Chains A and B, each alone.
Chain A
Amino acid sequence: MSDNVSSRIEIAAEVGDPATDPWWEFRQVERITLELSQGYKYSLGKYSRFFIELENQRFLATRCDYCAKVYAPPRPLCPVCLEPTAWTQLSGEGAVETWSVLHFSPGSNADVRALETPYVLAYVLLDGADTLFPHLLKAPPDQVERGLRVRVAYSGEPVQHPIHQMYFVPME
């Protein structure tokens, strides 16, 4: 096997009764634990400028010139008008619309999504936007409420995925 695959094999004991079990001859079970790791190299496509500008601590959205709707997260194509949108900068300030306090992190160890628990997943209506932007809100869970004013903070550190260059914090 190649370098990024390892395996462990376990075999379980027979069970069942040959008199009543039609599958008795098939009751031995061998189970393999496979460890696979896969790397992905994929393009962020027409979203790229959003992530590039995060590094410059600028928060971009897109605006449709036809229906005036402002998309944050950005959409390169307005799904209503089917016209290309235009980049527009937002202040990065907004208000919590809804949220959840998560007590389990979906990632582990070196995973890109490993997070200290509990953490707050917030949907924020950014000033000037017409959609909600979901991200981590670094705030004590018991202080989060609907309407809480928050702003985009920039991590300024090397990250594994460019969306981690930002998160939300409560406004002072």
Chain B
Amino acid sequence: MADPPVVAAVGSTAIASEHRGCNARDLMAEAILDCLADAGMDDLSAVEHGLASYESDHFNLQMTLGAILQDTIGLTPKPSARIEGGGATGALALRAAWAHVVSGLCDSILVYGVEKNGRGVSSRTANQLFALSADVDWEFMIGGTYTGFYAAMIRAHMAAFGTTEEQFAHVAVRNRRNAGFNPIAQKPMDITVDDVLASLPIAEPYKLLDCSLLSDGAACVLLATKDWARAHCPRFSERPPVYFSASGCGTDTMRLGDRYPQIANFRAKREAARQAYAMAGISQPLAEIDVAELYDSYSGVEIQAVEDLGFVAAGEGGPAVASGAFDLDGDLPVNTSGGLLGRGAPVGATGILQAIEVAQQLWEGVDARRQAPGARRGLTDTHAGIASISVVNIFERRD
């Protein structure tokens, strides 16, 4: 197999509850300009391929946004496609881009993602639009919401393993604290476990502060062969090369109930991790991964994720998280960016933002207060729905 692509350059906007002065294409353009500066390039004329990453046609009141974005950033008439996989969209787009480069279809590809989920519609309407990504006749119409589905899952986890609300509140506290060290984060907060426990119930056992954010934002990653990056990105050599070395993807039934009796954890995530670890040659993930961005759509989901990714055994996620094992000074710092809970989650850009955080960690280029010292290998974990699609991408620094 050909060498995997390198992360040639990255760019993003700040993540906010609302970028009132920007529509989706404006946000995308700002992230692209940030990426150009990061690469040291004047324009995108050398880039061979685009790949658009956004989830919702409803929020933007615009279909074929991918074609509009390709046009906006001047990549026409080069090839492009739109990748969509719910919450996993950004990570799935990167995975597709990986295949584009490794197959030899192109030597450079710009993966660009954007979402305007923040205030374009009310929270209630947003919840409705997201719930349309559930099974409409069987889950949506009965009053189901994703908060409710996730809540039913974590309750099953609590029943199976004794996981507690205090344990998942720890995730809500830590990720929002980490966001305080990330200048693009949407909602850094200095809160306590008690604050989380006392916050408004949304879908029990999840409370307001257990829930991630609705966000506006855009992000992009330029992937390329190392030779291409050296030739076309003047600033590429200023940093140690970071390779997008492995990727795995798993799927599961759409409806939680069809997974019975396995409803406490994410089978798709286990499958994605198995593939990615095999490709990367990882057998002891906790020891062999130095930093990770996990899909903390709800606080308890991170507990389920550290188990499904093999960092700890099934059922040990709650105590491990509460012990601080995944804090900035822990065994494996996770969600150093603040995660979906603190940095924010503009869906089509989320998986891309996770990859950017990991690449910047491997470059040792983030705020010292959230830098994982000496990190050489990082992981992103991104999923759709209640992990009907799950993607694990792995990045490695090779000096």
Q: A residues touching B (Cβ–Cβ < 8 Å)?
A: 12, 23, 26-27, 29, 31, 34, 44, 47, 71, 73, 97-108, 111-113, 115, 118-119, 121, 123, 125, 130-136, 141, 146, 161, 163-164
Does the CB pair B128–A106 fall under 8 Å?
Answer: yes
B159 at the A interface (CB under 8 A): yes
Interface members, chain B 71-86 (any A CB < 8 Å): none
User: Which residue of A26, A111, A130 contacts B260 across the interface (Cβ within 8 Å)?
Assistant: A130
B143, B202, B203, B257 interface centre (most CB from chain A within 10 Å): B143
Q: Which of B127, B151, B201 contacts A106 (CB 8 A)?
A: B127
User: Which residues of B are at the interface with A, using a C-beta cutoff of 8 A?
Assistant: 20-21, 61, 124, 127-128, 131, 137-145, 147-149, 151-153, 155-156, 159, 200-206, 255-258, 260, 263
**Least distance between A9 CB and chain B CB atoms (Å):** 14
Taking the nearest CB of chain B, how far is it from the CB of A131, in angstroms? Answer: 5
Please give the distance in Å from B106's CB to the nearest CB on chain A.
Answer: 31
- Residue of B whose beta carbon sits closest to that of A29: B21
| Contact A121-B142, Cβ < 8 Å, known A97-B156, A104-B202, A134-B256 | yes
Contact (A113, B141) CB under 8 Å given A34-B61, A97-B156, A106-B128: yes
When the two chains form their complex, are residues B263 and A113 in contact, meaning their CB atoms are under 8 A apart? Answer: no
Would A103 and B155 be within 8 Å (CB), given that A121-B142, A123-B256, A125-B260 are in contact? no
- Most chain B beta carbons < 10 A, residue from A100, A123, A164: A100
Given A103-B203, A106-B124, A98-B153 contact (CB < 8 Å): yes
Residues of B within 8 A of A47 (CB): 137
Contacts of A105 in B (CB 8 A): 143
Residue among A118, A133, A141 with the most chain B CB within 10 A?
A133
In the assembled complex, how far is the CB of residue A165 from the closest CB belonging to chain B, in whole angstroms? 11
Contact present for A103 and B200 (CB under 8 Å): yes
Asked if A106 meets B145 with Cβ closer than 8 Å, knowing A98-B155, A134-B255, the reply is: yes
A163, B142: Cβ atoms closer than 8 Å: yes
Q: Ordered nearest first, which 6 A-B pairs have the shortest CB separation?
A: A132-B257, A100-B151, A101-B204, A98-B156, A161-B141, A98-B152
Q: Which residues on the B side are within 8 Å of A44 (C-beta)?
A: 137
**Closest residue of chain A to B151, judged by CB?**
A100
Contact of A100 with B204 in the complex, beta carbons under 8 Å: yes
A134 to B131, Cβ gap below 8 A? no
Q: Which of A23, A113, A119, A132 contacts B140 (CB 8 A)?
A: A113
Between B21, B131, B257, B260, the greatest number of chain A beta carbons within 10 A of the residue's beta carbon is seen for B257
For the complex, give the distance between the alpha carbons of A23 and B147 in Å.
38
Per DSSP, chain A at the interface is: mixed
Distance of A113 Cα from B20 Cα, bound (Å): 30
Given the complex of chains A and B, what is the CA–CA distance between A136 and B256 in angstroms?
15
A sample of 24 cross-chain residue pairs with beta-carbon separation below 8 angstroms, ordered by A number, consists of A34-B61, A73-B138, A98-B156, A99-B152, A100-B206, A102-B143, A102-B151, A103-B200, A103-B201, A106-B124, A106-B143, A106-B144, A106-B145, A107-B128, A113-B143, A121-B152, A131-B255, A134-B142, A134-B255, A134-B256, A134-B257, A135-B142, A141-B204, A164-B141
Min C-beta distance of A124 to chain B, whole Å: 8
Q: Assuming the A-B contacts A98-B159, A102-B143, A102-B203, are A123 and B257 also in contact, with contact meaning beta carbons closer than 8 angstroms in the complex?
A: yes
Chain B residue at smallest Cβ distance from A75: B258
List residues of chain A with CB within 8 A of the CB of B138: 73, 134, 163
Whether A29 and B202, one on each chain, are in contact in the complex, defined by CB atoms closer than 8 angstroms, is no
Supposing A97-B260, A98-B263, A99-B152 touch, asked if A146 and B159 sit within 8 A by C-beta, the answer is: yes
How far in angstroms is the closest Cβ of chain B from A130? 7
B150 to chain A, nearest CB (A): 8
Instruction: Give chain A residues whose Cβ lies under 8 Å from the Cβ of B147.
Output: 100, 102
Instruction: Find chain B residues with CB under 8 A from A163 CB.
Output: 137-138, 141-142
Are B263's CB and A97's CB within 8 A? Answer: yes
CA distance A47 to B202 in the complex (A): 32
**Contact flag A107-B156 (CB < 8 Å), given A29-B21, A97-B263, A161-B137:** no
Residues on A with beta carbons closer than 8 Å to the beta carbon of B140: 113
A146 to B20 alpha-carbon distance, docked (Å): 45
- Which A residues touch B201, using CB under 8 A? 101, 103, 118
- List chain B residues, Cβ under 8 A from A26: 21
